Structure 1
Amino acid sequence: MILTVTPNPALDLTYRVPALQPGETHRAAPPAVRAGGKGLNVARVIGQTGGHAFVLTTAGGPSGLRLADDLEASRMPAEVIPVSAETRSSVAIVDDEDGETTVINEIGGALTPAEWIALHDAVLRLTVPAACVVGSGSLPPGAPEDFYAQLVAAASAHQRPSVIDATGHALLLAAEAGASVVKPNRRELAETTGRDDPVEGARILLDAGAGLVLVSLGAEGMLAVPRAGEPLHARLAERLTGNATGAGDAAVAAVATLLAGGVEDPSAVLRRATAWSAAAVLAPLAGDLHPTYPEFEARLVTG
């Protein structure tokens, strides 16, 4: 079982428009609505590819009820910590003309000290049977900055690998705690380390204590920077257009699946993560892969 922890989930609303024109009025069909947030998307991809994931998340208010209902309807194994703050929404607008997606993410509400304790206790309990632990996404306002570092420590206490997809000080602390893999995108890495060069930024996280740094480069593919050896790069030969909002989550799902199976080779991790990330771009909703995802690894250009 792969445990995915999402302290700041969202109710995802995905609209499609023929062509997005800023400043203009658009008519659209009702949105696709589903329980979202990075860790939930990771769990969906793991399930689609034949793995077993367990979701730990929070939910509050009417949107939180809709999120919990969707988790149940999707038959995703989950534990939901009730919170007083309303679960935030995330709106994605897909432009069918050029394939670009515009995303508006609400920040989310603060958790009370008692709610953080309940979430932390659940992490400690659910880490025991997990083969890998994943911490994904933003933290709500007022969150302990070391929340993901605590997650890494809980995994390490049971000799479990951990994958963290975060940004800023929370990511740096997770690296210092010894996260097996950290997966920022290029912008998040620059914001965290102050370095525009992704290799230089990755080296800072490695020096802090991370085992492997995987950097999403958008259309340029993905970069893996290991503790030993040269950086590795992989991409598709052709540029894909579609909904890229879940591409990073698909990469995290690939990493967690391999680590849970005992595979740690950076080259294998990079190839699977890049392939699944690309396959996610062609899927209509975040948390899904295009049905042809097994074929994507053979289409990669590496080096």
Structure 2
Amino acid sequence: MILTVTPNPALDLTWRVDRLVEGGTHRADAGAARAGGKGLNVARVAHAQGAPVLAVTTAGGRVGAEFADELSASGVPHVLVPVAAETRRSIALVDESAGDTTIVNERGVSPSDAEWGAVLAEVVERLPAAGVLVISGSVPPGTPEALLPMLIAVARDAGVPVVVDTSGPALLRAADAGATVLKPNAAELAESTGIDDPVHAARTLLERGAELVLLSLGADGMLAVTDDELVHARLDEPLAGNPTGAGDAGVAACAVLYAEGERDPETVLRRATAWSAAAVLMPLAGDISPRWTALAQHLRVTRPDPALFRKDPS
């Protein structure tokens, strides 16, 4: 089973407009509302691909009630910890003419210490049945710094590998705590480490305690970085669409393979890159196109010189 934790869930609202004009007024058809947050997107993708999952997250307030109703209707197995704070919202404006998406994320409100304790208790109770723990997404302001390391520690004590997709100081705390896999994008990695060279920055996370870094490069694909391997996968041409769930789909691919016992970096990278690309083709985060198998066959996979990814190769 894939056990996911979403520390900062959101009700995802998506509108599609013909053309997004800064400062303009736009008309759109009725938007889509979906229970989201990165960990829930991971759970949705894995569940749709036939993997057993259980998503643990929180819900509170009027928005949280709508969030809970949609998640129940989705059929994704889940546990919701009730909290006092209102569940946040995330707004995606899809520009049909440009083929890109503008996103506005509310920051969210941290649950109380007792509510975080309830989340931790749910995770501890279900770890014996888990093949992998995924902790994915931002943490709300005011979240105790010990939360993420504690979740990683209880999983490690149970012998369960941990995949973490987060950013900022939390990314460094996850590495220090011994997360098995980290999945930042290039901007998050540079911001967290202060190092512009992505391969060097990824290897500093390995030195801190991680085993594998899956580094999203947007249209340039993805890197798998270990202590002794560097593998790059990409499509020949970037895909137009909605990229908001692409990274989550990549995490789902990694989680499915790790739950099955697969640890080969290239195998994980190929699946993660294909699922990420397939997510871009879908209108909403948390879905991937059935074309992922065809996309996987068209990946260009290399073992490049690390200097190729430096901003200034000289």
| TM-score band, normalised by shorter chain | over 0.9
| Cα displacement string for residues 80-137 of structure 1 (whole angstroms, at most 9, x for unaligned residues) | 0000000000000001111100000000012111111111111211212111000000
Q: Which amino acid aligns with 1:287?
A: G
Q: Quote the sequence identity (%).
A: 56
Q: Quick one: distance in 1 between partners of 2:126 and 2:67?
A: 21
**Which stretches of structure 1, 4 residues or more, deviate above 6 A after TM superposition?**
none
* Aligned counterparts, 1:127-146, within 5 A: 127-146=127-146
Q: CA deviation at 1:147?
A: 2.0
> Partner of 1:236 in structure 2?
235
Q: Quick one: distance in 2 between partners of 1:147 and 1:241?
A: 37
Tell me, what secondary structure is at the counterpart of 1:283?
coil
1:148/1:171 contact within 8 Å kept: no
Q: CA deviation at 1:214?
A: 0.6
Q: Which amino acid aligns with 2:61?
A: G
Deviates more, 1:16-25 or 1:148-157: 148-157
| Cα displacement string for residues 180-217 of structure 1 (whole angstroms, at most 9, x for unaligned residues) | 10000011101110011110110110000000001100
Q: CA deviation at 1:146?
A: 3.1
> Partner of 1:9 in structure 2?
9
* Structure 2 residue 102 is matched with structure 1 residue 114: no
Q: CA deviation at 1:228?
A: 2.1
Number of residue pairs aligned between Structure 1 and Structure 2: 302
1:59/1:87 contact within 8 Å kept: yes
Unaligned runs of 5+ in 1: none
Q: Quick one: distance in 2 between partners of 1:20 and 1:201?
A: 35
Q: Quick one: distance in 2 between partners of 1:251 and 1:37?
A: 15
Q: CA deviation at 1:67?
A: 0.8
Aligned CA RMSD, in angstroms, stands at: 0.9
> Partner of 1:294 in structure 2?
293
Q: Which amino acid aligns with 1:80?
A: L
Q: Which amino acid aligns with 2:282?
A: A
Unaligned runs of 5+ in 2: 303-314
> Partner of 1:247 in structure 2?
246
> Partner of 1:86 in structure 2?
86
Q: CA deviation at 1:241?
A: 0.6
> Partner of 1:258 in structure 2?
257
Q: Which amino acid aligns with 2:103?
A: V
1:136/1:165 contact within 8 Å kept: yes
Tell me, what secondary structure is at the counterpart of 1:116?
helix
Q: Quick one: distance in 2 between partners of 1:146 and 1:244?
A: 31
Q: Quick one: distance in 2 between partners of 1:149 and 1:215?
A: 21
| Cα displacement string for residues 152-192 of structure 1 (whole angstroms, at most 9, x for unaligned residues) | 21111111111000012211111111111000001110111
Q: Which amino acid aligns with 1:27?
A: R
Q: Quick one: distance in 2 between partners of 1:201 and 1:21?
A: 37
Q: Quick one: distance in 1 between partners of 2:125 and 2:217?
A: 35
* Aligned counterparts, 1:178-197, within 5 A: 178-197=178-197
> Partner of 1:272 in structure 2?
271
Q: Quick one: distance in 2 between partners of 1:118 and 1:152?
A: 16
Tell me, what secondary structure is at the counterpart of 1:145?
coil
> Partner of 1:66 in structure 2?
66
Q: Which amino acid aligns with 2:38?
A: K
- State TM-score, norm by structure 1: 0.98
Q: CA deviation at 1:288?
A: 0.3
1:63/1:88 contact within 8 Å kept: yes
Tell me, what secondary structure is at the counterpart of 1:128?
helix
Tell me, what secondary structure is at the counterpart of 1:124?
helix
1:88/1:106 contact within 8 Å kept: yes
